Chains A and B, each alone.
Chain A
């Protein structure tokens, strides 16, 4: 087996040194009844060629999002990833190292995490950010848990514009950890008023901006209402590129900002691994979940970095930890960090503008088709269309024409028949004029 360096001769010599007759004898603590005598019923060893052939075969059964015009969003976005990002994250020193618990031999990881934390804080308009969570949904759920700790209350108000997966993850945690969830109904129109759901036991109000349906909102008034009620405003951002073009949540008065960072540097990869971003105010540092990298000096007085404030974390604090998270999304955070470094201020703002322009043009073209109505008036790179037929059917029909036309809202809200005709459509910089034309033509055809 190509990954196993020991030869039979090595094994014999090593067993002799140990004083054991066989490898099997090293398993003598295992109850006899539970010891397998031979290999389980699975295929035998396979060379690289065989594995690659199998995987290529599976890949061929899929329609790659990059192989056709693609307009999918709903929390994951197809952006162009510069070649150097993928090259750099595959350097073995990054790829095959562990969590930087020994700072003297992990300054590379620690420095990029420090840069990542800074980038996230800057983008969101917040004061401090952690070294990543699993994804946007779990980060948002952790934000609710943190708001409960900070306010000593246990009721979360969830916007109807929050991604349904995020809502379900929070509701699941609420159900098992014992906090209450007040979830507003799906807000396709973007007109909900959450202030009336806030009560004296509300720890936080969770909104997404732009919303799941694409609506871009000014959250300043809601922030004031939260503050007046002693609740925290949690703002989730599922399309992080939007912050290159939009007023950041921090400037609107958010107390915690969570985000899905996939759009920068991270492949779609059928939904994961992604990278959750988590940012907040300095005053809440000690209530934050997850790892934090901090600056310090070494014995020679040179600047360096370490994991810090670990007394919040499970490996020190055990059942009193702020979260049970251990492994997070280090390598995806690196990809995010590198992509954003390549873009810089000028690149990110232009990329964001390009996304907005492309989506705006697409919205004009599609909403001009008879029977198609644009539901979202103010949006970034994703909007909701109301179709004359159930959107799920249309999406299937478009896929047969090799156009991935969007996400039918019914996939996420299968029980709400009022939403059946709604289609979420996203357009990033990867959408060309030809793609727009192809979509327009295909949609006209399937609506006939």
Chain B
């Protein structure tokens, strides 16, 4: 049978070649940089004529051209629409990035953040004109304090790592108030990179604590490292192996007995919300990633928000600003007290506060408890579904994320990276790779509570299928993956050796020193 004609002339000579004239592949459309499609004099914005005025810039007036391209609104809309189509997103499917908590982002939260009475407030308006905003911050603080059983919260940190900075500075301030800031902070080897980076940024020596064979802090090794020069510890709980640190109360007691403080990295708080309160575990400070646990969107890498709950011992040292109940309603303390200082311009990530509070109110206390339970259930379901075909890093059940090592790939010549890239072709974002560092070739999967059982069943089938394919000796396939993306594997070495960090009109390739 001959190929059906399309009714618009003869088929092209090379009818079965997958190549196209444009380089586009159906819905995958090539898109140049804005700088490569701009025209002088064109703009996507109409502005009124400049009124008569006295010039007050004089010699400081710009004389040189900036070099910005000119595009009309339709061109701009198409440009960014096409770019968006080159991204994977939670809105498209399972995004099992362990440690990152990619859960559904409710659109109600976007809507309320844009109410003019909230989104269009200037941070320096008189407090008499922003009583609703201060009430909102106070309300969110209340929810955070109740959920953690902690008496105070510093709301201003802009993200998780910024919250860590806040927490460790608060600890340093409390120790300085006693006359000795001390020297070392104990950080487990499985910690997020931000933990040691934060401790070092606050002038502390990072003292690594090994993990035991159960993937938890080695309690004996931990206690052996304690001493009068230890300012405290930074421990993630549930930890980055997806396990609850069951010795946590002993750890807290030991740190306190040594005169130090316990900072908890709250990146994984989403596993225990409504079920376990950090304040009951002896924690002195913990940041809460509102963009993880309470689903303010990740937005391709931010903005985040990282309020830090504080124990009674640390509460007096919280940074400014903070909301208080004054004689005439809510007031904002912007300076003074024992506060250690200021971490950020203005008052914190208000836009994220609104979204987080909307998310929390939507769930309610019962819904939040159900959400953390389902997150843990989903992770264990993945673990149970994959444990025979893959190699779990630790025996037993997990919390909100399932961790595998790369033993199941032994002898296949397929690496964790290759495996991840093959998942992309199957329509999934890969799991977190090679983290935590304490597990060889780690594959960390966090489904979150917003995945359905059907969706997880399909996911498990695909991942199992890939594991079987790897074991069947199909390494070459994995080495070449992904095949079906707008770009295939990219040369990261070239990017780092000859950095091209911006577009330039004349010589686009430039070697940096």
* CB proximity of A194 to chain B, nearest CB, Å: 18
Residues of A within 8 A of B123 (CB): 76, 268, 270-272
Q: Is B377 a contact of A344 with CB atoms below 8 Å?
A: no
21 contacts between A and B (CB under 8 A): A4-B374, A17-B385, A42-B143, A62-B131, A63-B125, A67-B116, A111-B33, A275-B303, A292-B499, A295-B495, A296-B490, A296-B494, A314-B161, A315-B192, A318-B196, A324-B161, A334-B299, A346-B41, A357-B50, A378-B57, A395-B126
Considering residues B71, B244, B486, which has the most beta carbons from chain A within 10 angstroms of its beta carbon? B486
User: Using a CB-CB cutoff of 8 Å, which residues 49-104 of chain A contact chain B?
Assistant: 50-52, 54-67, 70, 72, 74-76, 78, 82, 84, 86-100, 102-104
* CB proximity of B400 to chain A, nearest CB, Å: 10
Q: Is B495 a contact of A308 with CB atoms below 8 Å?
A: yes
Residues of B within 8 A of A314 (CB): 161, 192-194, 196-197
Does any Cβ of B come within 8 Å of A332's Cβ? yes
Q: Which partner residue on chain B sits nearest A218 by CB separation?
A: B60
Residues of A within 8 A of B404 (CB): none
Q: Which partner residue on chain B sits nearest A310 by CB separation?
A: B496
Give B407-431 as 1s and 0s: 1 = Cβ < 8 Å from A's Cβ atoms.
Answer: 0000000000000110010000110
* CB proximity of A90 to chain B, nearest CB, Å: 6
Does any Cβ of B come within 8 Å of A221's Cβ? no
Q: Is B365 a contact of A251 with CB atoms below 8 Å?
A: no
Residues of B within 8 A of A364 (CB): 54
Residues of A within 8 A of B88 (CB): 93, 97, 102, 105-106
Residues of A within 8 A of B50 (CB): 350, 353-354, 357
User: Using a CB-CB cutoff of 8 Å, which residues 219-270 of chain A contact chain B?
Assistant: 243-248, 251, 260, 267-270
Residues of A within 8 A of B34 (CB): 115, 341
Does any Cβ of B come within 8 Å of A372's Cβ? no
User: Using a CB-CB cutoff of 8 Å, which residues 112-132 of chain B contact chain A?
Assistant: 112-126, 128-132
Residues of A within 8 A of B59 (CB): 218
Does any Cβ of B come within 8 Å of A407's Cβ? yes
User: Using a CB-CB cutoff of 8 Å, which residues 352-376 of chain B contact chain A?
Assistant: 352, 354, 358, 360-371, 373-374, 376
User: Using a CB-CB cutoff of 8 Å, which residues 357-388 of chain A contact chain B?
Assistant: 357-358, 360-361, 363-364, 377-380
Considering residues A127, A145, A176, which has the most beta carbons from chain B within 10 angstroms of its beta carbon? A176
Does any Cβ of B come within 8 Å of A23's Cβ? yes
* CB proximity of B64 to chain A, nearest CB, Å: 7
A121 touches which of B51, B121, B502 (Cβ 8 Å): B502
CA distance A246 to B291 in the complex (A): 37
Q: Which partner residue on chain A sits nearest B65 by CB separation?
A: A345
Q: Is A104 a contact of B33 with CB atoms below 8 Å?
A: no
CA distance A304 to B421 in the complex (A): 16
Q: A43-B364, A44-B365, A108-B87 are in contact. Are A52 and B54 (CB under 8 A)?
A: no
CA distance A236 to B493 in the complex (A): 33
Does any Cβ of B come within 8 Å of A297's Cβ? yes
Q: Is B340 a contact of A11 with CB atoms below 8 Å?
A: no
* CB proximity of A299 to chain B, nearest CB, Å: 5
How many chain-B residues does the 8 Å CB contact rule pick out? 207
Residues of A within 8 A of B108 (CB): 48, 51-52
A396 touches which of B128, B243, B492 (Cβ 8 Å): B128
Q: Which partner residue on chain B sits nearest A61 by CB separation?
A: B132
Residues of B within 8 A of A100 (CB): 300-301
Does any Cβ of B come within 8 Å of A20's Cβ? yes
Does any Cβ of A come within 8 Å of B31's Cβ? yes
Q: A78-B122, A109-B87 are in contact. Are A98 and B298 (CB under 8 A)?
A: yes
CA distance A168 to B499 in the complex (A): 34
Stretch at the interface among A133-141, A199-207, A440-448: A133-141
Q: Which partner residue on chain A sits nearest B97 by CB separation?
A: A98
Q: Is B302 a contact of A93 with CB atoms below 8 Å?
A: no
Q: Is B125 a contact of A1 with CB atoms below 8 Å?
A: no
Does any Cβ of B come within 8 Å of A434's Cβ? no
- Inter-chain pairs besides A102-B88, A169-B345, 9 sampled, C-beta below 8 Å: A2-B362, A39-B274, A51-B362, A59-B117, A63-B125, A65-B122, A302-B488, A319-B199, A328-B159
User: Using a CB-CB cutoff of 8 Å, which residues 188-224 of chain B contact chain A?
Assistant: 192-194, 196-203, 206
Does any Cβ of A come within 8 Å of B257's Cβ? no
Does any Cβ of A come within 8 Å of B469's Cβ? no
Give B120-152 as 1s and 0s: 1 = Cβ < 8 Å from A's Cβ atoms.
Answer: 111111101111110110000001001100000
Considering residues A82, A267, A270, A293, which has the most beta carbons from chain B within 10 angstroms of its beta carbon? A270
Does any Cβ of B come within 8 Å of A132's Cβ? yes
Q: Is A20 a contact of B380 with CB atoms below 8 Å?
A: yes
* CB proximity of B440 to chain A, nearest CB, Å: 18
Q: Is A324 a contact of B303 with CB atoms below 8 Å?
A: no
Considering residues A1, A131, A285, A327, which has the most beta carbons from chain B within 10 angstroms of its beta carbon? A327
Residues of A within 8 A of B124 (CB): 72, 74-76, 407, 411
Q: Is B68 a contact of A94 with CB atoms below 8 Å?
A: no
Does any Cβ of B come within 8 Å of A198's Cβ? no
The 4 closest A-B pairs by CB, nearest first: A59-B117, A331-B299, A271-B346, A172-B341
Q: Is A30 a contact of B501 with CB atoms below 8 Å?
A: no
* CB proximity of B301 to chain A, nearest CB, Å: 3
CA distance A306 to B500 in the complex (A): 10
Q: Is A36 a contact of B297 with CB atoms below 8 Å?
A: no
Give B286-303 as 1s and 0s: 1 = Cβ < 8 Å from A's Cβ atoms.
Answer: 000101000001111111
CA distance A122 to B42 in the complex (A): 18
A26 touches which of B117, B120, B376, B495 (Cβ 8 Å): B376
Stretch at the interface among B10-18, B448-456, B470-478: B448-456
Does any Cβ of B come within 8 Å of A114's Cβ? yes
Q: Which partner residue on chain A sits nearest B77 by CB separation?
A: A84
User: Using a CB-CB cutoff of 8 Å, which residues 1-18 of chain A contact chain B?
Assistant: 1-6, 10-11, 13-15, 17-18
Q: Which partner residue on chain A sits nearest B191 by CB separation?
A: A318
Does any Cβ of A come within 8 Å of B24's Cβ? no
CA distance A33 to B206 in the complex (A): 31
A4 touches which of B128, B143, B342, B449 (Cβ 8 Å): B449
CA distance A216 to B383 in the complex (A): 61
Does any Cβ of A come within 8 Å of B81's Cβ? yes
Residues of B within 8 A of A143 (CB): none
CA distance A167 to B445 in the complex (A): 42
